[in-house]
Amino acid sequence: MVTIEEEAIKLFEQGKKPEEVHKILIERGIKASESTIETYNRLWRNGYEGQSAYLKDLARKKGSESWYEHQSKLVRERGFKNYPEYYSYIIKDSNFREIYYSNGSDGINENNPYILMLKFLEMKAASKDITETNEYKKLKEILKNMKPKERLTYIEKLERGVEILIKLGKIDYGNVSLLYSV
């Protein structure tokens, strides 16, 4: 049985673009998102045989033997015994699920306010001036284009993220007045 990734790579080797590959796979009855196909293409262009090879290389660069070991180390740092415990905690909270589904993105992601808030809190813990950061500027830009009700809903999501981070023991303070000054 051929995986979606293997099928996509065969098509990339034939010179197909990610959009074309996505369309061909859909026609063949294979379901895959465009972003997944783009990820496979990016990995293939960078010389990786697949996503597992990339994750193994990434784990080694971060000082672990395998991706599983790297994940385990990260969740222990967050106060959990193992990855299944971490997953079950997050999956129970509908608002906080976004952290899990963001795949630990290191980028500034406006669709995931919790990741943005986590970055703020890490900077605050390190006594950095938050208002000078790219994350703060991004938040200000995001909120500028929102209607008052949308803005309030977004800030409430950030506050919920703070509450959860306090419960996880990631932070021992919860002053979110900064959010209302944006």
- Model pLDDT for residues 108-136, shown as the tens digit of each residue: 444 555 556 555 555 555 555 656 666 66
- Identify whether residues 108 and 166 lie together within a single domain: yes
Residue 75 lies in a domain: no
Query: Are 98 and 173 in a shared domain?
Result: yes
136-173 pLDDT per residue, tens: 677 777 777 777 667 667 776 776 666 665 666 555 54
In a domain, 70, yes or no: no
Based on the structure, what is the number of domains in the chain? Answer: 2
Nearest to 163 by CA among 114, 109, 105: 114
Residue 56, domain member (yes or no): no
| 29: three-class secondary structure by DSSP | coil
Whether 8 is in a domain gets the answer yes
* Domain-embedded: residue 101: yes
Give how far Cα 107 sits from Cα of 6, 16, 91, 138, 156, Å.
27, 28, 22, 11, 21
Q: 176 and 101 in one domain?
A: yes
Is the same domain home to 105 and 35? no
In a domain, 142, yes or no: yes
Compute CA distances 110 → 37, 114, 154, whole Å. Answer: 22, 9, 10
Q: Is this model's pTM higher than 0.75 or not? A: no
Domain that holds residue 21: 4-46
Q: What average pLDDT does this structure show over 90-117? A: 52
Specify the 3-state DSSP secondary structure of 148: helix
Task: For residue 156, tell me if it sits in a domain.
Answer: yes
Give the whole-angstrom CA distance, residue 36 versus residue 22. 9
Check whether 87 has a pLDDT greater than 80: no
Q: Does residue 99 share a domain with residue 176? A: yes
Quote the DSSP letter at residue 32.
-
14 falls in which pLDDT band (50, 70, 90)?
very high
Cα–Cα distance for residue pair 179/182, rounded to 1 Å: 6
| Cα-Cα end-to-end distance for the chain | 52
